[in-house]
Amino acid sequence: MTTQERTVPFGFTFDASGRLVVTQAGPNAIATFTVARTGKLTPVQQIANGQAATCWIVATGPRL
């Protein structure tokens, strides 16, 4: 299990590179993780999106 404090994960998708992209309602951010064959998640980046109560995310080709 991979956890991050105070993030409140909500929605998720996978980007064109196969990374897991998760919306985080707590900090109103989008976080990206690599996924190992074992299922372990490794954080890559977290970006604040300037919104409130971040919920859903959709990947369309190379865009999120």
Condensed to tens digits (0 to 9), the pLDDT of residues 10-36 reads 899 999 999 999 998 888 899 999 999
The pLDDT tens digits for 36-53 are: 999 999 999 999 988 888
Determine the structural domain holding residue 46 and report its residue range: 1-64
Scored b (16 or more CB within 10 A) or e, 47-58 reads eeeeeeebeebe
DSSP state of 23: E
Q: What is the pTM of this model?
A: 0.80
Structure tokens at 1: 């299990």
The number of domains in the chain is 1
Rg of the Cα trace of the chain? 11
CB 43 within 8 A of CB 52: no
